[in-house]
Structure 1
């Protein structure tokens, strides 16, 4: 089954020139995620789960019935 167009567009938006999804850096303040650097800036609503110790997050990709989750790098050095 081919990847939906909206998911392909999203991947193109987060890949760098080498075709790699680079690490994003965020902070959690009062329980709210704030992504400060990297390809996930402005996409906090897509982040569904974070593992601060393993430095990854699960991100919703796509829209509607074709939505799936992808494991991406995320560093969250501070939480207040």
Structure 2
């Protein structure tokens, strides 16, 4: 049984993908200048963990910035200085 499920809706309908405890799951949604990436993985002690990243989008090559981490029902924002 899958641990994770991702769903996306676009111009040609909707699709979903499954991820397992061993593989995790990742999604990236972006415009030309900015985007967001979410990576999910399973930790034996903490359970499901999701990392949220700001990306540079599809029109630019740039680095991603970690915005925070969701562990259970608690979001921990990353201090970016």
Q: TM-score, normalised by structure 2?
A: 0.26
> Which has the larger share of helix?
1
Query: Which structure has the greater CA radius of gyration?
Result: 2
> Which has the larger share of strand?
2
Q: Give the structure, 1 or 2, with the largest relative contact order (CA under 8 Å, sep 6 or more).
A: 1
Q: TM-score, normalised by structure 1?
A: 0.26
